[in-house]
């Protein structure tokens, strides 16, 4: 039986390609899982040898679909409703509500939204505050598979582990063994496929009052974090806020945005043009 463990050299070649295109940095400690996923994909794609598969991905213009399928297998899509909820409440109270009170129409973007629990949680909080119809919510991710799940609005029980019961009762149907988000909540989120490294595509996306980019920067190296945060700050309107994950402090990057703690949640304010 052949071994399905990549050589360190092939592991580095494939990781280099993936990091170049997606920013995601894979550690050698994960070589076994990484190898198993690569072998599963290369067999489906009809290759015998991982080096041929690498050449195909690297040099063949027809490899885009296969590359996307490999990314789908390798990215970590972990998410759940009301994750790090203090930030979601700060987005509502410190970004959305003041703008709505001034008669403006806030735009919110969940970058790297995975299977959609994050933008849908925001929509539920805004529906509860009676302002959902005054806000535009855009959500994006690089993974086609995650977006397909997000668009379906259907989840498993683990997604509900931090979901307050009242929110669940109001906006999530858990009858008949299926967990489905209410259509009026789902209809408020506009889903897009976007790579955070693609600055020009993001520029065409318009500007936002609040951007969430949580639990994805941890997979990037420092140079990529700087690059992505630069792109995101360019997509923020003056007075807009960027929210990153609790373990993803941007302090050491010396960024131009101002870090603020409001109601127990950190965010980065774009104070000037
Ligand atoms: C762990 S999930 C985070 C989901 C959600 N933000 C949360 O905090 O619950 C990380 C997501 O980042 C996405 N991702 C990784 N690299 C990306 C890139 N270059 N552009 C856009 N999304 C990316 C993955 O597909 C995955 O869905």
Residues in the chain where the model's pLDDT stays below 70: 1-2, 273
Counting ligand 1 atoms within 8 A of each CB, the residue from 216, 235, 244, 248 with the most, and so the one to mutate, is 216
Cβ-based burial of 56 (10 A; exposed 0-12, middle 13-18, buried ≥19) = middle
The number of angstroms, rounded, from the C-alpha of 175 to the middle of its chain's C-alpha atoms is 28
The pLDDT, as a whole number, for residue 231 is 95
pLDDT at 176: 78
pLDDT at 175: 86
> Does the beta carbon of 149 lie inside 6 Å of ligand 1?
no
Pocket test for ligand 1, best of 141, 158, 163, 221 (most atoms within 8 A of CB): 141
Q: Which atom of ligand 1 is nearest to the CA of 143?
A: 25
Q: Is 120 in the pocket of ligand 1 (CB under 6 A)?
A: no
Task: Kindly list the domain boundaries of the chain, sorted by start residue.
Answer: 8-74, 85-269
Domain at 8-74, CATH class = mainly alpha
The 10 Å CB-count burial string (b at 16+, else e) for 199-231 is beebeebeebbbbbbbbbbebbeeebbebbbeb
Instruction: Determine the atom of ligand 1 nearest the C-alpha atom of 23.
Output: 19
pLDDT 10s digits, 156-180: 999 999 999 999 999 999 987 789 9
CA distance 249 to 132: 29
Q: Which CATH superfamily is domain 85-269 in?
A: Vaccinia Virus protein VP39 (3.40.50.150)
Give the Å distance between the CA of 237 and the centre of ligand 1. Answer: 23
Residue 217 beta carbon below 6 angstroms from any ligand 1 atom: no
* Ligand 1 centroid from CA 151, angstroms: 16
- Residue located nearest, by CA, to atom 17 of ligand 1: 142
The pLDDT of residue 273: 65
């Amino acid at each position: 039986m052949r071994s399905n463990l990549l050589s360190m050299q092939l592991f580095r070649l494939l990781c280099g390609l993936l990091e170049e295109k997606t920013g995601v940095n894979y550690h050698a400690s994960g070589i076994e899982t990484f190898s198993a996923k690569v072998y599963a994909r290369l067999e489906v794609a009809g290759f015998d040898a991982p080096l041929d598969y690498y050449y195909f991905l690297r040099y063949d213009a027809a490899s885009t679909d296969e590359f996307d399928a490999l990314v789908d297998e390798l990215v970590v899509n972990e998410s759940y409703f009301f994750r790090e909820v203090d930030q979601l409440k700060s987005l509502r109270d410190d970004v959305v509500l003041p703008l709505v009170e001034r008669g403006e129409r806030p735009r919110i973007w969940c970058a790297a939204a995975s299977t959609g629990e994050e933008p849908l949680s925001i929509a539920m909080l805004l529906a509860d505050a009676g302002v959902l119809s005054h806000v535009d919510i855009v959500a994006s991710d690089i993974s086609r598979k995650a977006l397909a799940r997000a668009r379906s609005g259907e989840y498993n029980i683990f997604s509900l582990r931090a979901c307050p019961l009242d929110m669940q009762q109001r906006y999530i149907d858990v009858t008949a063994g299926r967990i489905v988000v209410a259509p009026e909540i789902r209809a408020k989120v506009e889903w897009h496929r976007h790579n955070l490294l693609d600055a020009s595509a993001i520029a065409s996306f318009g500007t936002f009052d609040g951007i969430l980019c949580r639990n994805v920067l941890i997979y990037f190296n420092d140079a990529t974090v700087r690059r992505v945060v630069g792109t995101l700050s360019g997509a923020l309107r003056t007075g807009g806020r960027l929210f990153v994950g609790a373990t993803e402090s941007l302090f050491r990057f010396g960024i131009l945005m101002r870090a603020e703690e409001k109601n127990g949640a950190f965010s980065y304010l774009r104070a000037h043009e």
